[in-house]
Amino acid sequence: MKRRALLLTALAAPAGVEAGRRIVYPQPDAGRSAVWTYLQQVLQLAIERGGGGYELVESREFMTQARVVRELADATGRLDLGWTMTSIEREAQLLPVRVPLDRGLIGWRIAFVRAADAQRWSGLRSLDELRRHVAVQGHDWPDTEILRANGLPVREGNRFEALLEMVRLGRADYFPRALFEIDDEAASELAHGLVIEPHVLLRYPAASYLFVRPDQPTLAADLQRGLDAAATDGSLKRLFDKRFGDLLQRHQVARRVQLRLNNPLLPPATPLDKPAYWLVTGG
């Protein structure tokens, strides 16, 4: 597959950074064009506000989350930056840019279920009741550990398509997805036979960050400076609202049963004390 390049420049690059330097990032997952477009826009905003100039080039092949982390942890790896949910382990391996790209919505979860079963969830009111159902998640996702830490049964798979198929075939009961992911995925042919469950919302504190290879601290600093500026002046929030601003209303979050989960993987350095970074809402 021919790689796509996106040239992102600023008027002046900081010392030590060559304008137009090639930075390789992962291919997007299938069926997630809205999220992917948003992430590209966030990257552009970070680079413009950070004062650097980079040519961002898509990787030649699709990589799972575990593969992305391995490539970033290796000084000879094929990636320079990626994005994923943070965890203590990932922050020990990589350089995190500690501004949540998703304003914390990676931890707001609604689920795919079989169409014939959707109304069966209407009476669910507690985590104890949810524990009677089996979730499916990627084997290398932090969410898998989070669900299990809260006593929820989880079966694992490798590819997104396979996870949907496990629910469709009755090998699992539900597939939790972030609020900002699920609409685009539901519109894909991959989700045929499945629907968005309308009654339950899982919530746990989480953040999706940009992560950079440990041997590229200048890149990490440029991105941190850019995203800090964008969060402070509200431009990151405006970009998010433009793309995803109607999510809570569209999925009737206020009417859903909200089940709060603990996140034992949340690093101590998570900037929970910076309200400009996060979606703030009641419930």
Residue 88 sits at φ, ψ, to 5 deg, of -60, -45
- Estimate to the nearest angstrom the gap between the alpha carbon of 83 and the chain centroid: 7
**Reported pTM:** 0.82
Set out the domains of the chain in order of their start, with CATH numbers.
5-104+207-245+266-277 (3.40.190.10), 105-203 (3.40.190.10)
**Is the Cβ–Cβ distance between 93 and 69 less than 8 Å?**
yes
Sheet holding 54-58, edge to edge: 5-8, 54-58, 21-25
Other CB atoms within a 10 A radius of the CB of residue 177 amount to 23
Confidence label for 64 from pLDDT (cuts 50, 70 and 90): confident
What pLDDT shows up at residue 56? 85
Res 170 pLDDT > 90 = yes
Other CB atoms within a 10 A radius of the CB of residue 279 amount to 18
Beta bridge partners of 114: 194
* Mean pLDDT of all residues belonging to the chain: 88
Residue 23 sits at φ, ψ, to 5 deg, of -125, 125
Of residues 175 and 34, the one with the higher pLDDT is 175
Confidence label for 33 from pLDDT (cuts 50, 70 and 90): low
Of residues 143 and 5, the one with the higher pLDDT is 143
**Is the Cβ–Cβ distance between 108 and 179 less than 8 Å?**
yes
Q: Which of 161, 211, 157 is nearest to 23 (CA)?
A: 211
